[in-house]
Structure 1
Amino acid sequence: MSGIWTQVAPLPAGARVVALCLAESRPSVLAVSSLRYLTGVALALPITSIADPVMVFQGGVAWVASIFAIYLFNGVTDTVEDRINGSGRPIARGDLHPRTAAAVAAAAAALALLATLGLPLAMTWIIAVNLGLGYLYSGPPSPLKASPGGTVIVLMLSGLLSYLAGFTVATAGAGLVAPTELVVFTTAAICWMVLVGVPAKDLSDIPGDAAAGRRTLGVRIGESAARRVMMTAALGLLAAFCVAVAVLDARLVGVLVAMAAGAAAVVVAGTRPARQGQGRAGRRARRRSYEAFMATQQAVHITAVLSNI
């Protein structure tokens, strides 16, 4: 009897490690990454009848596994600044050992590449390049996350790859020309991620980023200026997206409405003064803008997917 319990006992511990790794990899980011991939699939449907549901699912597993590996590894390398910033993620609070997380991240990266077997060859390259970008962003000797320019480059390229992955799988790598809606949406979504998301994310992490030597936008220009950049970018991007939809006659009116609501939420959050203090309560207050940014990302992608399936 004791032998049976000895064999079963490790399972809960393993399940706990997986759960902690999922929490460390930021479930909201995994969800948005899934939506980006699905948007690439959905916006390809009007021009192709090739899409195979099994291949779409397999491609989604490969893409999400790569993002999981990247963000889990990022959590390992962000331990110092996360603890200074009062992050509640598992590594920062001491519930998940960095070495364990790094091993799981490496296994997930291998799984991501393995999952591309049977998919168009281009998908294997997309996953490999994405994993490479993830390492360059967080890993030694010179992580690109240390500078605003490096952060922007990685976010733009990885964002582009997410939509390209969905389009590639949906069209079975047939080399079709992307429809106008996909091009317009991808451009707007990447700009939203970079121009609004980067300053919004910086707001809650300025003390830790400064202590870790990272020259982020928030560290360089300060919290107040970063808020102004974020709000100006949100409104400017909304105006540009509106013009693009009208001029190019893109069928993205629903997405435009969702972005308008999101831009308003970002501006409202940005104008509300953050609670003073450096503890978790203060960090939560400074994350309101980032939460509005993330909610908008989810809304515009869900709208795009539902409008095209």
Structure 2
Amino acid sequence: MQMDIAPTKFPAAGTSWSVFTSFCRDFLQESRVSVQVIFLIRFGTAAALGTTIFGGREMAAALAWVLATLAAYVFNGVMDVTEDRANGSTRPISRGSLPVPVAAGGVVVSSGLALTIGGIVDPGGLLPLLILAHLVCGYAYSGAPFYGKRRGYSAVLLVLAMGVLTYAAGWQVADRKGGIAILLLGAAMSLWMGGVGALAKDLPDAEGDAAGGRRTPVIVWGDRRVRILITVNAVVIAFGYLAATVAFAPVLVPSAIALVFGAVAVGSLAATTRTATTRSGRRLPYRAFMVTQYAVHIVVLAALLF
């Protein structure tokens, strides 16, 4: 992919340390902090369903997973310069404060640290393989020759896979305990990522995605059909999760109720923001999707604590 790289903006009269810290800050911002936090919460919630003790091993495993997720999302920013600028993104790579070579170097370092820590924490176990699979999915989403982001079905499948891998990693760190509760939560929220979030995030970005050669569902099927699909998927996933938790995992019922409310919010916003004239207005269904994810996991953790 050809990338239009903006001039690098170095801090005025900055020392080497100030330049380094500035790049680290921009690297973190490029990774979308809210996304990194929800991946950490997914991992932590899956682990909490299987263990009541969070020690050094669990913390190190969580760090490894965050580093792998950072690498995946910053690599996406490296590969999305054209689309992001066309969509008016103000993230560091797009605005030129984080040079592409620096970001790419950070991706390599983060990936290497994630695999190293995973191997130390779980030698001979599944965690290093899960981290590697997570990194492969992140690369396949954005990089050659796959460019999974360019097609609706591959983007959805890769997002869903990264969700499943995150819950599986938490399960592995909890010594594979948690049983049906982790299975239900992981399945529902991974489907929520793939069937709702992966679609909703494209609503405000059709112009830039088209400029980058993507064939997203919004471009192929049209905005109206995608909004209907988002609503249907959200409702089906939420009520399916509710029915499953009532039958098999009562501890998760409060989180299922939260998901139902979130599905209603997502569907309502998908219907009412179609004529929005600002990018922030068109992003509201995606924001509701994100808030719902936070709410569901926080409710699960609260139920376990109290």
Q: Does 1:304 align with 2:271?
A: no
Matches within 5 A, 1:77-96: 77-96=79-98
Q: Which moved more, 1:244-253 or 1:189-198?
A: 244-253
Q: Does 1:131 align with 2:135?
A: yes
Give the % identical residues.
33
RCO higher in 1 or 2 (8 Å CA, sep ≥ 6)?
1
Corresponding letter in the other structure for 1:85 = N
Identify the residue that residue 117 of structure 1 maps to in structure 2. Answer: 119
How far apart are the structure 2 equivalents of 1:223 and 1:86? Answer: 19
Question: Which consecutive unaligned segments of at least 5 residues does structure 1 have?
Answer: 1-7
Calculate the aligned-residue CA RMSD, in Å: 1.8
Identify the residue that residue 222 of structure 2 maps to in structure 1. Answer: 222
1:95 CA displacement = 1.8
Identify the residue that residue 4 of structure 1 maps to in structure 2. Answer: none
TM-score (norm 2): 0.90
Equivalent pair of 2:70/2:107 in contact (CA under 8 Å): yes
Q: Does 1:23 align with 2:25?
A: no
1:122 CA displacement = 1.2
Corresponding letter in the other structure for 1:133 = C
Aligned residues: 291
Instruction: Choose which of 154, 160, 167 in structure 1 pairs with 2:164.
Output: 160
Q: Does 1:9 align with 2:11?
A: no
Corresponding letter in the other structure for 2:120 = G
How far apart are the structure 1 equivalents of 2:32 and 2:233? Answer: 25
Equivalent pair of 1:52/1:170 in contact (CA under 8 Å): no
Q: 3-state SS of the aligned residue for 1:36?
A: helix
Instruction: Choose which of 78, 88, 92 in structure 2 pairs with 1:76.
Output: 78
Matches within 5 A, 1:141-220: 141-171=145-175, 176=176, 178-220=178-220
Corresponding letter in the other structure for 2:151 = S
The C-alpha deviation readout for 1:96-139, integer Å capped at 9, x for no partner, is: 21111111111111111111133222111111111111111111
Q: 3-state SS of the aligned residue for 1:251?
A: helix
1:205 CA displacement = 1.2
How far apart are the structure 1 equivalents of 2:54 and 2:274? Answer: 48
How far apart are the structure 1 equivalents of 2:267 and 2:243? Answer: 20
Identify the residue that residue 267 of structure 1 maps to in structure 2. Answer: 267
Identify the residue that residue 103 of structure 1 maps to in structure 2. Answer: 105
Identify the residue that residue 5 of structure 1 maps to in structure 2. Answer: none
Identify the residue that residue 293 of structure 1 maps to in structure 2. Answer: 289
How far apart are the structure 1 equivalents of 2:264 and 2:169? Answer: 31
1:275 CA displacement = 5.5
Equivalent pair of 1:180/1:250 in contact (CA under 8 Å): no
Q: 3-state SS of the aligned residue for 1:116?
A: helix
Q: Does 1:57 align with 2:47?
A: no
How far apart are the structure 2 equivalents of 1:107 and 1:296? Answer: 32
1:52 CA displacement = 5.0
- Describe the shift of the 1:263–1:276 C-alpha distance in structure 2 as closer, same or farther (beyond 3 A): closer
The C-alpha deviation readout for 1:216-259, integer Å capped at 9, x for no partner, is: 11111111211111111111222211221222243211101211
Question: Which consecutive unaligned segments of at least 5 residues does structure 2 have?
Answer: 1-13
Q: 3-state SS of the aligned residue for 2:165?
A: helix
How far apart are the structure 2 equivalents of 1:226 and 1:212? Answer: 20
Q: Does 1:43 align with 2:49?
A: yes
Equivalent pair of 1:38/1:305 in contact (CA under 8 Å): no
How far apart are the structure 2 equivalents of 1:129 and 1:142? Answer: 15
Identify the residue that residue 231 of structure 2 maps to in structure 1. Answer: 231
Corresponding letter in the other structure for 2:287 = E
How far apart are the structure 1 equivalents of 2:296 and 2:174? Answer: 20
Corresponding letter in the other structure for 2:23 = V
- Describe the shift of the 1:106–1:153 C-alpha distance in structure 2 as closer, same or farther (beyond 3 A): same
1:212 CA displacement = 1.2
Equivalent pair of 2:276/2:282 in contact (CA under 8 Å): no
Identify the residue that residue 246 of structure 1 maps to in structure 2. Answer: 246
Q: 3-state SS of the aligned residue for 2:121?
A: coil
